[in-house]
Structures are given as C-alpha cells and as structure tokens.
Chain A
Amino acid sequence: QKEVEQDPGPLSVPEGAIVSLNCTYSNSAFQYFMWYRQYSRKGPELLMYTYSSGNKEDGRFTAQVDKSSKYISLFIRDSQPSDSATYLCAMSSNSGGSNYKLTFGKGTLLTVNP
C-alpha cells in the first residue's frame, strides 16, 4: 500500500461546479497537510496548508483534514476554467528521521469546461 493515495483522474467539470479532490494516507505520523496546484510546465503553487483536523477556508477553496480516517479533501467552489490544473496533495512529519520531507500523491488532473 502506498503511503499516499490520490485518484489521478482525469476529472472534467462544467464551469461553476463544486469540485471535490481527495487523498487517503496510511502513515499516522503525518502531521502537516498541503494542497498544491500545478499548471502544465510550471512548479507547484501552495494553495492550502493545515496542521490539525478540521476545515480551513480560503476564498473559493476549503481544505478538510480527518486524521481519524486518514483522509484529506480539497473543495473548490464556483470552479473556473483557470482552475484547470493538476492538484497535488502532500503531507509531512518529523517522525522516523523524515525531517518534514514531503510525501506527494500522484496528482489529480482537473479540467473546468467553460
């Protein structure tokens, strides 16, 4: 079992839809959870960074962390064509000498159609 599982998609939605992206993980030591957006031929851009279980909202984006279920989500409201990109979940811890190195999901390719 991989440490972080993320459905690669592709996911195609109409403009204005609510998008739900998810990752599950197996390592209970993960403490920090991130969502990055990566456009084609660009580096990842940090969207959300959370530490504890619960919700965090920033504009049209909401990140949810459920540590008991080892499950994280990213919701995008009122999706726009400019949201079309690959979304990567990432997580880290300081246990076992990992020194906060990021473990990424495979990324979900999202297309928002006008």
Chain B
Amino acid sequence: GAVVSQHPSWVICKSGTSVKIECRSLDFQATTMFWYRQFPKQSLMLMATSNEGSKATYEQGVEKDKFLINHASLTLSTLTVTSAHPEDSSFYICSAKVRNNQPQHFGDGTRLSIL
C-alpha cells in the first residue's frame, strides 16, 4: 500500500518551455502532498506543501510564479516549471501522506534536464 506515482520519470526540453510533472497517490487519498528538489549527492530540499483545494505554501526562496503547484484532487498534484532555464535542471520528487502524523510516501522522482 501507500504507492505514489510520478510522471514523467525523465524529461529533456529546451530553455524557455514549461514542463508539467504529475504526482498521484494510487491507493490512498492524500490530505497533503509535498514537492522536493534534490541536487546530486545532497539531501532533499522542500519546495512547497500543497493541500487539496487550497493554495500551496512555498518555502522561503522558492519562486511561486516559476514553480506552479496545483492540487486539484485528493489523489493528484501537479508541479509546472514555467519558462524553464538550465539552472532549473534537477531531480524533482513528490510525496504524499494520509494524515498529519503519518509518514510521507515518495514518488520515484522526475529528472528534468533543460538544454
């Protein structure tokens, strides 16, 4: 149980384009979903927290207009990287949990490469 699916797993695109990443909880309804970014050989850095039907809460230093998060249902959250540039290239990982005091379950990540 507690499976989180993330799509796509790898995307390469040109500078200036927008990229959408989907995160789905397959066998549970997630009250909260999270988006992380991970650089090579580093730990996960939280970008934002999203609750179904409400606006996402972004961490300090994360540009809201660049990283658009939509949490339309209890099983789906999307992250759109707008006007992507090479410095946005990274490994993006989502997670979801059922209740506040329950652990987060992670997707397999999306490797984003901007040329």
Question: Which positions in A face B, CB cutoff 8 Å?
Answer: 31-32, 34, 36, 41-46, 49, 88, 94, 99-102, 104-107
Contacts and interface: CB of A to CB of B under 8 A. Distances in A.
Given A32-B101, A42-B108, A46-B106, 20 more contacts: A36-B106, A41-B91, A41-B109, A42-B109, A43-B93, A43-B95, A43-B106, A43-B107, A43-B108, A43-B109, A44-B93, A46-B2, A46-B105, A88-B44, A100-B97, A101-B34, A102-B44, A104-B43, A104-B44, A105-B43
A43 B23 CA distance: 12
A58 to B, nearest CB: 13
A71 B67 CA distance: 36
A107 B41 CA distance: 9
Interface residue SS majority, chain A: loop
Nearest to B6: A43
A106 B41 CA distance: 9
Interface in B74-115: 91, 93, 95, 97, 100-101, 103-109, 111
In the A-B complex, list the 6 residue pairs whose CB atoms are closest, starting with the nearest.
A43-B106, A49-B103, A104-B43, A43-B108, A43-B109, A44-B106
B50 interface: no
A88 B36 CA distance: 14
B100 A100 contact: yes
Contacts of A106: 42-43
Contacts of A36: 106
